[in-house]
Amino acid sequence: MHIHNVGIDHRTAPIELLERLAVPPGRTREALGRLTAHPAVGEALLLATCNRLEAFVATARHSEAACHVVESFAGLAGVPEHEVWGAVSIRREAEAVTHLFRVACGLDSMAVGEEQIVAQVRSALRAAREAGAAGPVLTGLAEHALRGSKRARTETRVGQAGVSLVHAALDVADGVLGGLAGRRALLVGTGTIGSLAARLLRDAGAGEIHVASRTAASAERIAGQVGGAAVAPGGWAPLLERCDLLVSSTGAEGQVLDAERMRVARKDAGHAPFVALDLAMPRDVDPLCGDVDGVTLVGIEELGRVLAGRGRPDDVGRAEGIVTEQAAAFLARRLESSVKPLIVALRSRAREVVDQELARLGDRLPGLAERERAETVAAVDRIVGRLLHTPTVRAKELAGAPDGRLYLEALSRLFDLDVSEANA
């Protein structure tokens, strides 16, 4: 099977489309089930973050698989297919593999080198395996990509700058509020973004940190880690009046804060400066909240512009080199493993032809002595062995070349072997 990728991200689609296509955590299993429902898709892995929606599939029928993925994205979101086609990128085998290695290292992120993507890729793999959607092909791909990411982060400084969407968002809040020390913060959502925001706010000396979640246990856990206070599920609205900062990053399918609630809360607060950081996809906060007096609303799109102006962190070039090397090594191993069944199929085909001809010879020369028959069989076997020796050796050598798969497919076609089985 080949590895294919069908993806949409912040570079190919406007934030409004990404928001509509977003797959909340609660619908991941449904999405994976839809992806693997088509016979062209053998395995699937879904990576859904605040600025990308990516499907990696193992398939022997790339055109059908790509069309099905686009159809699935559109169907899940209720978006016309032509809108998805207008924003989608399709990558095959080497390009798809290298892409996931780059993504896992944070080299394709809005915040280059960000750390959250590592946990997101790991979570995507776990979800795919639990749903029975990821098998040996995609499991091996994701695990190798994560190992490549670890090596790049260990050997370079690409991840040491600590820049992420959360860092950038809190930097904006710091500028608006004149510092975060002593500020009262409300965190809604306790995933990777919420937990990181809690730690950064603690380190910045925030005065109060209130943590809200759909589950009380999650809120208590994060609050306990930063010396904050857990808020009962659904009981955080009154805190909008007394806090200076909101960080919202839930997985809700609809908005959790509307403009009217914000307007009432900030009126009671005397329209004091307030920053609302909406780091969710789809958005948690009604965009009209930004029109409320005293409120500065910052979302993913605004943060993208902030990060774009910061330039690339040091060592990106070295990290790119490591990732490219690791991806190439993974691809070489895949090609080498595909040679074995191909050679077995080639020798089996030769053995089949030899057996047929020897049987025909036996029918034509029934009086052939046993010794002569054995000599004939041995001679034919030596001839076939010598004829197959060079293509067998060359197939192993060429498998590791950049265009190795082309040679293997040519060999399969020349001898009428089953390419899909040879590469499974």
The answer to whether the annotation marks 160 as part of a ligand binding site is no
The answer to whether the annotation marks 215 as part of a ligand binding site is no
The answer to whether the annotation marks 243 as part of a ligand binding site is no
The answer to whether the annotation marks 423 as part of a ligand binding site is no
The answer to whether the annotation marks 49 as part of a ligand binding site is yes
Coil vs helix vs strand at 4: strand
Q: Please, what is the Cα angle at 320 between 95 and 171, to 5 degrees?
A: 115
Residue 126 to residue 26: CA distance in whole angstroms? 14
The answer to whether the annotation marks 192 as part of a ligand binding site is yes
The answer to whether the annotation marks 115 as part of a ligand binding site is yes
Residue 334 to residue 107: CA distance in whole angstroms? 24
The answer to whether the annotation marks 52 as part of a ligand binding site is yes
CA atoms within 13 A on the CB side of 208: 13
Catalytic residue among 50, 105, 243, 289: 50
The answer to whether the annotation marks 191 as part of a ligand binding site is yes
- Is the Cβ–Cβ distance between 33 and 55 less than 8 Å? no
Which 8-state DSSP code applies to residue 51? T
Structure tokens at 191: 């995933």
Nearest to 278 by CA among 264, 302, 299: 299
Q: Is 289 a catalytic residue?
A: no
Residue that the structure tokens 């809200």 belong to: 212
Residue 151 to residue 325: CA distance in whole angstroms? 11
What are the angstrom distances between the C-alpha of 246 and each of 160, 212, 262? 26, 11, 11
Residue 417: phi, psi to the nearest 5?
Answer: -95, 165
Nearest to 127 by CA among 29, 13, 224, 267: 29
The answer to whether the annotation marks 59 as part of a ligand binding site is no
The answer to whether the annotation marks 189 as part of a ligand binding site is yes
The answer to whether the annotation marks 116 as part of a ligand binding site is yes
Strand partners, 54: 7, 47
Structure tokens at 356: 């047929």
Which 8-state DSSP code applies to residue 314? T
The answer to whether the annotation marks 114 as part of a ligand binding site is yes
Concatenating the DSSP letter of every residue in 247-305 gives: EE----SS-SB-HHHHHHHHHHTTT--EEEEE--SS-SB-GGGGGSTTEEEE-HHHHHH
Sheet with 295-298: strands ordered across: 229-231, 208-212, 184-188, 245-248, 274-278, 295-298
Coil vs helix vs strand at 162: coil
Q: Please, what is the Cα angle at 256 between 251 and 262, to 5 degrees?
A: 145
Binding residues for NADP(+): 189-194
Binding residues: 49-52, 109, 114-116, 120, 189-194
Catalytic residues: 50
